[in-house]
Amino acid sequence: MKDLSTKYMGIKLKNPIIAGASGLTANLAKIQEMEAAGVGAIVIKSLFEEQIQLERYRNELEGEITSARSAEMIGPALPDQDYAGPKEHLYWLKRAKELVKIPVIGSLNAVHRETWLDYALKLADTGIDGLELNFYSVPKDFSKTGTSIEDEQIELLKEISSRINIPVAVKLSSLYTNPLQVVQRMSKTGIAGVVLFNRFFEPDIDIQKMENIFPLNLSKPQDNRHALRYTGLLSQQIQTEICSSGGIFSAADVIKMILAGANAVQIVSALYEHGTKHIATILSGIEAWMSQKGYNSLADFQGSMNKLNSKDHWAYSRAQYVRILMESPEHLRRNKTDI
Ligand SMILES: Cc1cc2nc3c(=O)[nH]c(=O)nc-3n(C[C@H](O)[C@H](O)[C@H](O)COP(=O)(O)O)c2cc1C
């Protein structure tokens, strides 16, 4: 039996596999299944600002109904709710925490500063082990600079991590101009973890029906190279533990991230595609590889191939296809992955 334990957000995990926030972690039966399959921790589906705003709107409307003393005077019914409001979310988080023994991490995506602060505190009060801040909003304002957005996020992180008493992680978009600088600045705000990176719903267009569509946009295995690059570049260079995410499907994918310096990984698409039992398959694959290589614990190889420790100093910085152009076509055919 190998020692797969690790530390992420300052929390001891029995292994590095975290089920990332998704519809699967909004389902108590699935959460129990994942615990049975051996998952190290789970991040519960985010509480979104839209849910909070909708509840505020409903409360205001209910207030108006009461003061008007006649519901008929208000006209249309309350808006439909596809998902639970914040109160249900908080209750549900408590239930999830009671139900399993593994660490439970909450997640929040807000827009306004007051909502971020208010709900970070409310979520922390549910007894969860840590809080992940899901930092992404689609830019709508042409005049706002990237730096001003980053500054606001950093101020918010300082405020939240100084006010709540559980570890905070930030889950980032990969779309910063210089993620290295942003993550380094964020790592000095008191946060305990950084998730590299989130993956968002992307809009599409159905050209027959001539309408916008939002397909379930699952990752593919090759998608993990982006997270691998930044994990390798940031490992041992920031004061924060790294959780890599995006396109992690197999034991090999997890091992690569750990070699590049991740403390843990988050997986979602692989669980949608292969089911929750896939966690057990990944864990036994990691153990088999460790036996083959003679490693007893994750610490034996974690970060051993990050930028600082890699034999190829430029491995994570290379962005152009120079090496490919210099290789002969026969060599490339023979070594498809050796680029
Ligand atoms: C159906 C679905 C729901 C998701 N919901 C959330 C969410 O509530 N909060 C969040 O931060 N990320 C959410 N994500 C993003 C995932 O947590 C994860 O970052 C992303 O899918 C990349 O990991 P993967 O390549 O393993 O899928 C969701 C993803 C999917 C597919």
Q: pLDDT of 165-180, one tens digit each?
A: 999 999 999 889 999 9
Burial code of 24-33, b = ≥16 C-beta within 10 A, e = fewer? bbbeeebbeb
In a domain, 326, yes or no: no
In a domain, 265, yes or no: yes
Q: Where are the alpha helices (DSSP H) in the chain?
A: 28-36, 49-68, 86-99, 113-124, 146-163, 179-187, 224-234, 251-260, 269-274, 278-293, 322-326, 329-334
Domain that holds residue 83: 6-310
DSSP code per residue over 89-147: HHHHHHHHHHH-SS-EEEEEE-SSHHHHHHHHHHHHTTT-SEEEEE-------TT--HH
20 touches ligand 1 (CB under 6 Å): yes
CA angle 141, 147, 153 (to 5 degrees): 85
- Residues 93 and 104: beta-carbon distance below 8 Å: yes
When the pLDDT of each residue in the chain is averaged and rounded to a whole number, the result is: 88
250 touches ligand 1 (CB under 6 Å): no
Distance from Cα 199 to the centre of ligand 1, integer Å = 6
Q: 150 or 79: which carries more pLDDT confidence? A: 150
| Structural domains in the chain (count) | 1
Residue position matching structure tokens 């843990």? 264
Q: Is the pTM of this model over 0.95?
A: no
In a domain, 339, yes or no: no
Query: Which pLDDT band, with edges at 50, 70 and 90, does 62 fall under?
Result: low
Residue from 12, 99, 24 nearest 278 by CA: 24
- In the predicted model, is pLDDT for residue 269 greater than 70? yes
Distance from Cα 299 to the centre of ligand 1, integer Å = 28
In a domain, 325, yes or no: no
Q: CATH number of the domain that 255 lies in?
A: 3.20.20.70
In a domain, 79, yes or no: yes
Write the burial class of residue 296 (CB in 10 Å: 0-12 exposed, 13-18 middle, 19+ buried): exposed
Q: pLDDT of 90-114, one tens digit each?
A: 998 999 999 999 999 999 999 999 9
SS3 193: strand
Task: Measure the CA–CA gap between 266 and 246, rounded to whole angstroms.
Answer: 8
Whole-number pLDDT of residue 328? 65
In a domain, 319, yes or no: no
Whole-number pLDDT of residue 75? 35
- Tell me how far apart the terminal alpha carbons of the chain are, to the nearest angstrom: 35
Dihedrals phi, psi of 302, to nearest 5 degrees? -60, 120
254 touches ligand 1 (CB under 6 Å): no
In a domain, 136, yes or no: yes
Distance from Cα 296 to the centre of ligand 1, integer Å = 32
Residue from 87, 149, 160 nearest 117 by CA: 160
